C-alpha cells in the first residue's frame, strides 16, 4: 500500500495486525481455551472489563480466605469463587489467535530461507 507523503513522494505503509495475548494478572501465565488456565470473570457488579483471570490463578488467590474478597485487578469489586463464570468470548479469541498463529507458522513465507 502506498501513501502520499507531504513532499509528494510515495511512502510504503506497512499494516500489521495486533494480536492480544491474554495473561492471568495473578499467575502471569497465558490463558488457554479450556482447563485450569481458562479465562473466568466475576459476575457481580463493580468490575472493569480487565477483571479476567485464569481459574487456577483466582482459585489460588482466594484459597484460605472466607467469603468475598477484594478484586486483585480493580479493587472496587469483590471476588467469590461461586460468582465466577467462564469467559466464552475470551476463550474464542484465544482459540482463533492460536489457529491463526499456527496458520502463519505453516505459511512458506513465515520463515524465509537465506
- Mean pLDDT in order along the chain per 10 residues (114 residues): 54 55 92 96 92 96 89 93 94 91 62 50
**Alpha-carbon distances of 71 from 48, 109, 111, rounded to whole Å:** 10, 44, 42
* pLDDT for residue 26: 94
Rounded to two decimals, what is the model's pTM?
Answer: 0.70
* pLDDT for residue 31: 96
* pLDDT for residue 30: 94
CB 82, CB 58: distance < 8 Å: no
* pLDDT for residue 66: 85
* pLDDT for residue 102: 82
Instruction: List residues bridging with 3 in a β-sheet.
Output: 11
CA dist., res. 18 & res. 74, Å (int): 25
Amino acid at each position: 500500500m502506498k501513501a502520499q507523503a507531504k513532499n509528494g513522494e510515495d511512502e510504503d505503509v506497512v499494516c500489521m495486525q495486533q494480536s492480544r495475548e491474554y495473561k492471568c494478572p495473578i499467575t502471569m501465565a497465558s490463558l488457554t481455551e479450556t482447563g485450569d488456565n481458562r479465562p473466568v470473570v466475576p459476575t457481580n457488579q463493580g468490575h472493569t472489563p480487565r477483571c479476567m483471570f485464569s481459574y487456577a490463578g483466582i482459585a489460588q488467590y482466594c484459597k484460605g480466605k472466607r467469603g468475598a474478597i477484594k478484586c486483585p485487578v480493580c479493587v472496587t469489586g469483590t471476588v467469590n469463587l461461586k460468582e465466577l463464570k467462564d469467559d466464552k468470548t475470551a476463550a474464542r479469541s484465544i482459540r482463533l489467535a492460536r489457529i491463526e498463529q499456527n496458520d502463519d507458522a505453516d505459511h512458506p513465507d513465515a520463515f524465509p530461507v537465506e
